[in-house]
Structure 1
């Protein structure tokens, strides 16, 4: 598909600005970067949890987004995405990692905006990925800061992962769609708030689920079960989860972007 050249140019400027704000350079990876990328993925998820070097090289050679962020020439972040065509051509953004001492500093945001810019340059206006719906900071980043929208609830999507992040917890996931040239996304990236949602239910996200999972596994298991029931019930009724101003989930019948088709 073709994308408005003005939006493509705007995406490039936004990616550059995000990288500058984070103090990094973001670029497509070179073959010599693969060991560093594997190291960052394994630092995040554990030994053996990264695609091996040959797979990363093949994905990179085929033109997929194997990206690296560097600061003063040293690797501080990486992301991996590959093309899919289920329900339309899109980029599936599969892995993203930032070294611990640079987290919450805008590196992940810079990687995501560079990934968006690359996609739009190639005429791909749809990016998707999954995330654990109970991790509050990820929910805020995805739905509010980026303007992605939840399209599916995928209970226990990966099965038992036993990695450094999830341990033995169930791998429930939301699938989000990031419609890269949509008014919703452009509003979010400009720092403008989304609409106030009409709601028919809510689920507070007022605990740090990662700490709860480590400190009180039984309480975390109960919250997982409660959320699973609520997500199933809401989405079966045609409701969508969004975040309110307190970063709690609300369930709404409103369209994800009532201004679709309007130029912002």
Structure 2
């Protein structure tokens, strides 16, 4: 395992890189199930499949402590939508104890290296559009953009996903922490799911958190149809999502701009 130069010094001496041994892939599978809290009947992650992916255009990467404890894992595979080729990152998981310590960024940087080695020039993945924290990481931390909405992505209700695209040929350091102009006026729960034009682009406010057991979760989930409709209209009109910022304890907001670009 190694540190990625573009990431700067790895916090806490964390080391990242490809996972190749059966033991490492087994530990990755265990971490995946523990973090996502999948039960016996939940989605399985086959260790042999991960080994096959690694040898055939895919990625299996991890982040470890100096003592060798696996605290982050991501995997992906070659993908196409019929017109474009890309490396598709299916999942990235971080041990809850190490969240907020740049493990997710290290995972994505190592996936980027592997995808470039396989000859790919872009990476895609998906996320729930109501997860503002994930959106902020994807757009504001990595510099990727949201290019489309796929309704009921996994064939089940409430599995809408925003498709993210990341330009692998650009130095990630040029895309991190891009400044974003503030949205117009004060936005709150009454604005959730309502596109609001501003000087920087079109803002789409959403609930700032979506947590299991949150007493507001029913209200938060109620915004899903409005957010789905707004996202569909914005993407159909040629906009891409370039940022998602927290406005206060209750509300976050996407920023949409015209054209598929990662420029700030």
Whether TM-score is above 0.5 comes out as yes
Match of 1:80 in 2: 75
With normalisation by structure 1, the TM-score equals 0.79
Which of 115, 136, 158 is residue 140 of structure 1 equivalent to?
Answer: 136
Checking the alignment, whether the CA contact within 8 Å between 1:199 and 1:252 is kept in structure 2 is: yes
Q: Distance in 2 between matches of 1:68 and 1:255?
A: 30
Deviation at 1:231, TM superposition (A): 0.9
Aligned length: 236
Checking the alignment, whether the CA contact within 8 Å between 2:181 and 2:200 is kept in structure 1 is: no
Q: Distance in 1 between matches of 2:261 and 2:123?
A: 16
Match of 1:97 in 2: 93
Q: Deviations over 1:8-63 (max 9, x none)?
A: xxx95214x36x22531112112221210111110122134232122122212324
Which of 15, 18, 26 is residue 35 of structure 1 equivalent to?
Answer: 26
Checking the alignment, whether the CA contact within 8 Å between 2:130 and 2:207 is kept in structure 1 is: no
User: Cα RMSD (Å) of the superposition?
Assistant: 2.7
Deviation at 1:205, TM superposition (A): 3.3
Are positions 1:14 and 2:25 aligned together? no
Q: Distance in 2 between matches of 1:253 and 1:198?
A: 13
Checking the alignment, whether the CA contact within 8 Å between 1:198 and 1:253 is kept in structure 2 is: no
Which of 113, 117, 134 is residue 117 of structure 1 equivalent to?
Answer: 113
Deviation at 1:198, TM superposition (A): 4.2
Match of 2:195 in 1: none
Checking the alignment, whether the CA contact within 8 Å between 1:203 and 1:250 is kept in structure 2 is: yes
Checking the alignment, whether the CA contact within 8 Å between 1:12 and 1:117 is kept in structure 2 is: no
Match of 2:152 in 1: 156
Checking the alignment, whether the CA contact within 8 Å between 1:41 and 1:50 is kept in structure 2 is: no
Which of 24, 36, 39 is residue 14 of structure 2 equivalent to?
Answer: 24
Match of 1:256 in 2: 261
Match of 1:62 in 2: 56
Checking the alignment, whether the CA contact within 8 Å between 1:41 and 1:49 is kept in structure 2 is: no
Instruction: List structure 1 segments (4+ residues) > 3 angstroms apart after TM superposition.
Output: 191-201, 244-247
Higher strand share: 2
Q: Secondary structure at 2:175's aligned position in 1?
A: helix
Higher helix share: 1
Q: Deviations over 1:87-132 (max 9, x none)?
A: 3221100011111111111111111111112222333210000011
Q: Distance in 1 between matches of 2:102 and 2:229?
A: 34
Unmatched 5+ stretches in structure 2? 183-197
